[in-house]
Amino acid sequence: MLENITIILVNTTHPGNIGGVARAMKNMGLTDLRLVEPKVFPDGDAVARASGATDLLDNAGVFSSLAEALADCQLVVGTSARERHIPWPLINPRELAAITAPLSGSQKIAIVFGREDRGLTNEELQLCHHHVNIPTNEAFSSLNIAAAVQVVTYELRMAALGLTESAERPQWGTEWDIDLASHQELELLFEHLEKVLVDTEFLDPENPRQLMPRLRRLFMRAVPDKVEVNVLRGILSTIEKKIDGGH
């Protein structure tokens, strides 16, 4: 049940933390590790901290951007410890596990962890359907990234074990008939939507305000499937044809 989950680390500074994450993942039965622009990798410190989970390091994918690392993922969850200007759906690790456990193995799920000192940027968080927050002690809230990964992956494993021991619980109350849209398909939708909004003069590119981030939040909250995204893009294409005809 955990083979469809990938852990993504963005711009990790200390290679030892990558090794610690690999160990935490292997403890809980996860194997897919992806790295986005790590400062130092590969490195002996990563191997030492992995303590036997070096196979995850050997097979880790290294990417030049988060968007590239997410290209084949259908559900993306970013870790966040910060308040943002625009509120986003926020869940804890146990709620995250309840969402991901019922999804079939064909749905690729990414859990994204940011930099040790400042986490994920607002732009990176906007690539995510949900934001997960670990409710730590407010007086001492800082968590090492490997410890954060351990907390999240523990909840994922417990949910997977519970699902295996009981009847499968479909997400949304019924078996979904279509695969979720991939990250790449969603990004193409947002590009298409922004273009149409500019062409219809609903969006002023010189003064965009928060329109696109809010629309992104709306669609990401819905977790659309492939057919739904195709329908939306079909509507946008029809609008473009009407605009061209009017001109």
Mean pLDDT to the nearest integer, 32-60: 96
For domain 5-172, give its CATH number from 3.50.50.60, 3.40.91.10, 3.40.1280.10, 3.60.21.10: 3.40.1280.10
pLDDT at residue 102 greater than cutoff 90: no
Asked if 7 contacts 34 with a C-beta cutoff of 8 angstroms, the reply is yes
Over 90: is that where the pLDDT of 39 sits?
yes
Q: Is-contact 199 242, C-beta < 8 A?
A: no
What does the pLDDT read at residue 169?
46
Q: Provide, rounded to the nearest whole percent, the portion of the chain with pLDDT above 90.
A: 70
Q: What is the pLDDT of residues 188-198, one digit of tens each?
A: 999 999 999 99
pLDDT computed for residue 150 by the predictor? 97
Predicted pLDDT of residue 175: 63
Model confidence pLDDT, tens digit, residues 107-122: 899 999 999 988 999 8
SS (H, E, C) the chain: CCCCEEEEEECCCCHHHHHHHHHHHHHHCCCEEEEECCCCCCCHHHHHHHCCCHHHHHCCEEECCHHHHCCCCCEEEEECCCCCCCCCCEECHHHHHHHHCCCCCCCCEEEEECECCCECCHHHHCCCCEEECCCCCCCCCCCCHHHHHHHHHHHHHHHHHHHHHCCCCCHHHCCCCCCECCHHHHHHHHHHHHHHHHHCCCCCCCCCCCHHHHHHHHHHHHCCEHHHHHHHHHHHHHHHHHHHHHC
The arrangement of strands across the sheet holding 130-132 comes to: 61-63, 32-36, 5-10, 109-113, 75-79, 130-132, 90-91
Q: Which of 62-66, 102-106, 174-178 has the highest mean pLDDT?
A: 62-66
Least confident of 145-149, 160-164, 209-213, 240-244: 160-164
Query: Fold match between 5-172 and 183-246?
Result: no
The mean pLDDT of 157-166, rounded to a whole number, is: 74
Which residue from 117, 146, 115, 110 is spatially nearest to 21, judged by alpha carbons? 146
Confidence of residue 84 (pLDDT cuts 50, 70, 90): low
Structure tokens at 176: 């979904």
Domain 183-246 CATH class label? mainly alpha
pLDDT of residue 64: 97
pTM exceeds 0.85, yes or no? no
Q: Is the pLDDT score of 162 beyond 50?
A: yes
- pLDDT tens, position by position, 24-37: 999 999 999 999 99
Cβ-Cβ contacts under 8 Å for 232 (sequence gap 6 or more): 189, 193, 224
Residue 15: burial class (beta carbons within 10 Å; 0-12, 13-18, 19+): buried
Which tens digit of pLDDT belongs to each residue from 57-78?
Answer: 999 999 999 999 999 999 999 9
Average pLDDT value over all residues in the chain: 89
Report the distance separating Cα 8 and Cα 111, nearest Å: 6
Q: Where are the domains of the chain?
A: 5-172, 183-246
- Distance between CA 47 and CA 36 in Å, rounded? 18
Q: Is the pLDDT of residue 218 over 60?
A: yes
Q: pLDDT tens across 10-23, in order?
A: 999 999 999 999 99
